[in-house]
C-alpha cells in the first residue's frame, strides 16, 4: 500500500489503469471507443452524478453528445472509461460549489477517478486555442493533449504544484484562515510553487511571505491531486526559527499557533474546539493526522 500509515489522502486510490500506450495507438484507441463495454462518466455540468450506491455514475458511451470531444480515461474493472468535453458546457459550470457537498460522501478512490476527469475537462474548456499562435486546436492522444494544425505546437494538460505546510515551533503548529473559509475553520498555509523553485524553497518563501517566518528545515509528508482546477497539493512540515508572526493580511484573515491538544479537539469534532478543521478530503486533514501520529 502506498499509504502505510493508514492515512490515505482524499482524491487518491483510483483503480483506474491509465493505459497510456493506448492514447497514442489509433487502432487500440478506436477499439476502446467501439467496445460494447465502454462506459461514460455521468456528469451534471462538470459535477459527478452518483448512482444509488453513492458511487460515481457511468452510462453507455452511446449517450455521449455527438459533438463532444471524448477523453479516454483508462480501463477500470475491465471496461474502457471515457469522459466528454461537451460543446454546451455552460460558462462558469466549473465554479459550482455543489461538488463540495458530494465530496463529503464520495470514497477517496471514487473521488480520485473523478479528479482526473474533472481536471482534464476543465483544461480542455479553457485551452481551445494554441497559446503559441492563437489558432483553434484539436484534441489528440485520446484527450491527453491538444495540437495545433497551424504551427504544430503540442499542448498538454496543466498540473499546478502547490505547497501546503504546517510551521512547527516548540510543539505547536501554525494554522491560518482565508476570508472565503466557513466560519471558525483554520487550515495549513498554502501557495503555488513558482518557476525556479524546489518544494523546500517554496515552503520557506510562502511562510516568509504570509507569516514573516524564517524556516530551518522542511519535511515532505504526503500529496494529493486537487481538481479545482488541477493542482498537486504537496504537504510539508517546516521547523521555523521562532513564533513571531508578521501576517500578510492580503492573503490571510488570521493565523494562530495551536497546541497538540487543540488540534486533537478540533479533529475529534469537540464543540468547544478552538477551530474547525479542514474537511477529510483535503490534504491538510491528512497532514494534521500525520502530525498527531508523529507527536503522539
Going from the C-alpha of 268 to that of each of 260, 262, 271, 275, 276, the distances in angstroms are 12, 10, 9, 11, 10
**Residue 22: which residues within 8 A CB-CB, separation 6 or more?**
28, 29, 32, 72, 142
Block residue for cell numbers 507527536: 295
41/61 Cα distance (integer angstroms): 9
How near is the Cβ of 45 to a second copy at its closest, in Å?
18
Among 31, 60, 126, 214, interactor with a second copy by CB under 8 A: 126
Total residues at interface with a second copy (CB under 8 A): 67
Residue 265 has a CB neighbour count (10 Å cut-off) of: 18
* CB-CB contact of 215 with 242 (8 Å): no
- Grid cell for residue 50: 452518483
Q: How many CA atoms lie within 13 A of 206 on its CB side?
A: 29
Nearer to a second copy, 158 or 184 (CB): 158
Binding mask of the shown chain, residues 173 to 212, with x at each position contacting a second copy by CB under 8 A: -------------------xxxxxxxxxx--xx---x---
Task: Candidates 215, 262, 275, 284: give the one binding a second copy (CB under 8 A).
Answer: 215
Whether 74 and 82 have beta carbons less than 8 Å apart is answered as: no
Question: Does residue 134 touch a second copy according to CB under 8 A?
Answer: yes
Counting contacts by CB under 8 A, is residue 109 touching a second copy? no
Q: How far is the CB of 80 from a second copy (least distance, A)?
A: 17
Choice between 65 and 209, CB closer to a second copy: 209
Footprint (CB under 8 A) of a second copy, residues 9-38: 9, 11-12, 14, 18, 20-21
Asked whether position 214 contacts a second copy by CB under 8 A, the answer is no
150 scored as a contact of a second copy (CB under 8 A): no
Q: Does 83 bind a second copy (CB under 8 A)?
A: no
**DSSP codes of every residue in 208-227:** HHHH---EEEEEEEEEEEET
> Contact region for a second copy (CB under 8 A) — 49-57, 59-67, 169-177, 220-228?
220-228
CB of 120 to a second copy, least distance (A): 6
Q: Distance between CA 235 and CA 230 in Å, rounded?
A: 16
240 vs 174: CA distance, rounded Å: 10
Rule CB under 8 A: is residue 244 a binding residue for a second copy?
Answer: no
Closest contact distance (angstroms) between CB of 142 and a second copy is 12
Instruction: For the CB of residue 15, give the shortest distance to a second copy in the complex, in Å.
Output: 11
- DSSP letters along 26-48, please? HHHHHHHHH-TT-EEE-EETTEE
CB of 73 to a second copy, least distance (A): 9
Strands 254-259, 215-226: pairing is unpaired
Q: What's the CA gap between 238 and 277, in Å, rounded? A: 19
State yes or no: residue 135 binds a second copy (CB under 8 A): yes
- Positions touching a second copy (CB under 8 A) are 1-4, 9, 11-12, 14, 18, 20-21, 112-113, 115-117, 119-120, 123, 126-136, 144, 153, 155-161, 192-201, 204-205, 209, 215-218, 220, 222-225, 227, 230, 232, 234, 248, 250
Amino acid at each position: 500500500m502506498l499509504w502505510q500509515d493508514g492515512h490515505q489522502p482524499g482524491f487518491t486510490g483510483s483503480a483506474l489503469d491509465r493505459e497510456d500506450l493506448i492514447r497514442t495507438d489509433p487502432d487500440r484507441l478506436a477499439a476502446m471507443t467501439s467496445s460494447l463495454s465502454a462506459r461514460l462518466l455521468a456528469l451534471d455540468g462538470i459535477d459527478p452524478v452518483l448512482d444509488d450506491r453513492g458511487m460515481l455514475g457511468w452510462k453507455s458511451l452511446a449517450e455521449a453528445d455527438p459533438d463532444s470531444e471524448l477523453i479516454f480515461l483508462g480501463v477500470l474493472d475491465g471496461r474502457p472509461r471515457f469522459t466528454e468535453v461537451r460543446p454546451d458546457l455552460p460558462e462558469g459550470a466549473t465554479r459550482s460549489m455543489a461538488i463540495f457537498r458530494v465530496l463529503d460522501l464520495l470514497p477517496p478512490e471514487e473521488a480520485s477517478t473523478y479528479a482526473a476527469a474533472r481536471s482534464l475537462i476543465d483544461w480542455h474548456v479553457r485551452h481551445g486555442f494554441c497559446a503559441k499562435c492563437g489558432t483553434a486546436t484539436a484534441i489528440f492522444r485520446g484527450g491527453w493533449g491538444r495540437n495545433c494544425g497551424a504551427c504544430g505546437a503540442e499542448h498538454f494538460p496543466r498540473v499546478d504544484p502547490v505547497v501546503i505546510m504546517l510551521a512547527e515551533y516548540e510543539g505547536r503548529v501554525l494554522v491560518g484562515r482565508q476570508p472565503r473559509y466557513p466560519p471558525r475553520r483554520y487550515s495549513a498555509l498554502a501557495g503555488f510553487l513558482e518557476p525556479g523553485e524546489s518544494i523546500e524553497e517554496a515552503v520557506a518563501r510562502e511562510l516568509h511571505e504570509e507569516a514573516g517566518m524564517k524556516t530551518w528545515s522542511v519535511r515532505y509528508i504526503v500529496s494529493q491531486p486537487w481538481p479545482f482546477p488541477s493542482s498537486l497539493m504537496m504537504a510539508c512540515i517546516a521547523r521555523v526559527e521562532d513564533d513571531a508572526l508578521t501576517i500578510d493580511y492580503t492573503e490571510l484573515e488570521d493565523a494562530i499557533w495551536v497546541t497538540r491538544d487543540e488540534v486533537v479537539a478540533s479533529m475529534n469534532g469537540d464543540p468547544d474546539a478552538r477551530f474547525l478543521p479542514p474537511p477529510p478530503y483535503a490534504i491538510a486533514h491528512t497532514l494534521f493526522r500525520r502530525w498527531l501520529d508523529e507527536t503522539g
